[in-house]
Amino acid sequence: MFLAQKTHNLPTTMSRTTFFEVKILDAKTKEQLCFLEKVEPYLTIGDIKSLFHKSYPQWYSSRQALKLDPKDKSLRDDEILQNLPVGTSATFYFRDLGPQLGWTMVFLAESVGALLIYLLFYFRVPFIYSHRYTSTSSSKPVVSLACVCHTSHYAKRLIETIFVHRFSPGTMPLRIIIRNCAYYWGFSAWLAYYINHPLYTPPSYGELQVNCALILFVMCELGNFSIHLTLNNVRGDGSRCRRFPVPTKNPFTWLFYFVSCPNYTYEVGAWASFSIMTQCLPVALYTLLGFIQMTIWAKGKHRAYSREFKDYPTQRTAIFPLIL
């Protein structure tokens, strides 16, 4: 009696992984800094930066820029090695971005400095104005009101930075942080100097102008805060599917029906109302520059939404309803 014996067909070929060789050269001198063997093809640029960091601890990942050509744009950290036009022997060019700081520290530095500098002028510390005005306060109510508004604006930004905003893992070069702080701190000092100056003249239409501007300022600040809460909820609801922000039951968010970036709309509105309240030319100039920069950001975000979402509302504009 013979027992049947089962046989298993073994695969005649084994799947093989094609490993990559990666060279990292200095973008300026073309000197080879690192050579990586048997790099798995599914690794990302971020993974390669981590491997490079092991050889050069002084260049942490966020400080590195890797490019396919010294003149090209930097590769994103999420790009996959095998999807790049490099073959199995890849050459990357490294550039040192310099010391970096996280976005939280960037926002805190900008806001804390602007807030404190304004208060120095409001309390008229020595050597700012004439000696006889040292450590005195203005008798004009609009000056104190302007200080409250300016302080509350940056206090709100600090609260949002710590408790509301969800920042990406990205960083900002220290040299750009210094430039940004110089901009915010410098304008804060310029505004404060004129608004708190002993010879400052109140607005032409008196309390009516100040009170109307104050109401608009408060509404814009509440609107800006509401939009930031809504954006935070969209990014932090745990859903893996990306969504674009939509209006909620909060009336301040209904501006989403018309524009892509109502946070910038409210921000411009707040500074415009502050300009009307103080009737100060430096504030108006600061508002204009902020409007130009925020319009650029809003247009970029609007284009990104339109490209990413096929069902994105066509009636929305970037920052101002039906106009811009």
**In the prediction, which pLDDT does 136 show?**
66
| Low-confidence residues in the chain, pLDDT < 50 | 1-14
DSSP 256-293: GGTBS-HHHHHHHHHHHHHHHHHT-HHHHHHHHHHHHH
Pair of tokens at residue 244: 């674009």
**In the prediction, which pLDDT does 120 show?**
93
Q: For the chain, list the domains and their CATH numbers.
A: 44-98 (3.10.20.90), 115-306 (no CATH)
**In the prediction, which pLDDT does 237 show?**
53
Query: 211: Cβ–Cβ under 8 A, 6 or more apart, which residues?
Result: none
- The identity of residue 293, as a single letter, is Q
Side-chain-facing half-sphere of 48: CA atoms under 13 Å: 34
Instruction: Sort 223 into a burial class: Cβ within 10 Å, 0-12 / 13-18 / 19+.
Output: buried
The residue among 267, 264, 223, 262 whose CA lies nearest residue 245 is 262
**In the prediction, which pLDDT does 47 show?**
92
Query: 26: Cβ–Cβ under 8 A, 6 or more apart, which residues?
Result: 32, 33, 93, 94
- CA dist 322 → 43, 130, 269, 281, 308 (Å): 45, 49, 16, 28, 22
**In the prediction, which pLDDT does 135 show?**
64
pLDDT in tens, 14-52: 456 789 999 999 999 999 999 998 899 899 999 999 999
Pair of tokens at residue 11: 């695969």
Contact between 35 and 22 under an 8 Å Cβ cutoff? The reply is yes
**In the prediction, which pLDDT does 5 show?**
44
Gap between the terminal Cα atoms of the chain: 90
Cα distance between residue 259 and residue 255, in whole Å: 6
Query: What own/partner pairs with CB < 8 Å and gap ≥ 24 does 28-36 have?
Result: 28/70, 28/95, 33/94
What sections of the chain are H helices per DSSP? Answer: 45-55, 103-122, 141-159, 174-195, 206-235, 262-278, 281-308
Hey, is 53 helix, strand or coil?
A: helix
